[in-house]
Amino acid sequence: MAYETILVDIADGIATVTLNRPEVLNALNGQVFNELGDVALELGADPSVQAVIITGGDKVFAAGADIKQMANLSAVDAAIGGRPSHRAFSLIETIPKPVIASIAGFALGGGCELTLVCDVRIAADSAQFGLPEIKLGILPGAGGTQRLPRLIGAGKAKELIFSGDFINADEALRVGLVNKVVPADQLREETLKMAKRFAARGAVALRLAKSAIDEGLRMDLEAGIQYEHKCFSLLFATVDQKEGMRAFIEKRPPDFKGQ
C-alpha cells in the first residue's frame, strides 16, 4: 500500500514505520491516523514480518495530534473526528507481534499516547515525554488517561496529566514509562537488536504471550490465570513447542518455524 505521511521499510523480518511530517514535528492528523491503522493491519497480516518498530525523527518522535486541525472542532466533530485515532491505536495495540516504540526527541500528547500502545518503549537520551493537553484546555484523548495510569500508576500519571510538564528520558525510565534509555546515536541499532531478539522466538508463542498479558490485564486475576492456561496449553499443539524443548534437551539453539 502507498502511504504519504509514514515511511514503511521491511528488512530481515523487522518492519519499521517512520512518522514523516517533519515540517509540523510529526503532528498526527486524520491522514496519519488512517495510515497508521492501515499499516497496522497490513503488517499484522504479513507473515514475513516478525516484529514492528514505530519511530519518528531524530529531534521529534511526534508533537501530538495536529492542533491546527483540532482548533475549531465542534464537540460533534471531536467525537466523530476521534474515530481514526481510536481505530489506529486499537489496531496497533492488537498487532499480534511485538511492537517497539523507538523514541528520540519530543513524544507529546498523542505522540506519547502512540508510544503507550506499543509493547515496549526504547528512548534516546534526547527524548522528552509529556501530555500537555491540559495546557490547551483539553485532556489526553487518545487513551492517555487510561493507558498511562495502567503503566506507571495513577499518582504519577495524574501529576503528568494535571501539570502538562515534560519529563526527560531518565525520569521516564525511573517511573517506568520507558523500558530502556540509550545514547541518541545508538537508538536505531539498540532498537533493531531488541526487535531481532524478539523475532528469534517462536511467532505463535509470542502472539499468545502478548494476548495473555493484554487480555489478562482486562480481566480479574482468576479469569486471567484461566486465560493464560488456555494459551499455555494451546502451545503444546505447535511445532515450535516440540522443537524448543527438543533443542534444549539436545543442547542446541532452537529453529523455530512459527507454527
Binding site for ligand CO8 (CB under 6 A): 24-25, 27, 63-68, 81-82, 85, 106, 108-110, 132-133, 136, 140-142
CB 100 within 8 A of CB 75: no
CB of 70 to ligand CO8, least distance (A): 6
Q: Catalytic: 133?
A: yes
Calculate helix-pair angle for 203-216, 239-249, nearest 10 degrees.
110
Cell of 129: 515525554
Distance CA 49, CA 56 (A): 20
Residue nearer to ligand CO8 on the CB measure, 142 or 208:
142
Quick one: CA dihedral 233, 90, 146, 54, positive or negative?
positive
CB of 122 to ligand CO8, least distance (A): 20
Residue with C-alpha cell 486524520?
A: 30
CB of 137 to ligand CO8, least distance (A): 10
CB of 234 to ligand CO8, least distance (A): 36
Distance CA 187, CA 102 (A): 7
Cell of 197: 531478539
Q: Which of 133, 190, 215, 222 is catalytic?
A: 133
Residue nearer to ligand CO8 on the CB measure, 89 or 198:
89
Q: Which of 107, 104, 93 is nearest to 36 (CA)?
A: 93
Residue 226 C-alpha from the chain's centroid: 26
Closest residue (Cβ) to ligand CO8? Answer: 109
Q: Catalytic: 113?
A: yes
Q: Which of 113, 159, 190, 228 is catalytic?
A: 113
Residue nearer to ligand CO8 on the CB measure, 56 or 132:
132
CB of 246 to ligand CO8, least distance (A): 49
The torsion region of residue 251 among left (phi > 0), alpha (psi -120 to 50) and beta comes to left
The torsion region of residue 101 among left (phi > 0), alpha (psi -120 to 50) and beta comes to beta
Residue nearer to ligand CO8 on the CB measure, 135 or 242:
135
Residue nearer to ligand CO8 on the CB measure, 106 or 129:
106
Cell of 92: 496497533
CB count within 10 Å of CB 217 equals: 9
Catalytically active residues, by annotation: 113, 133
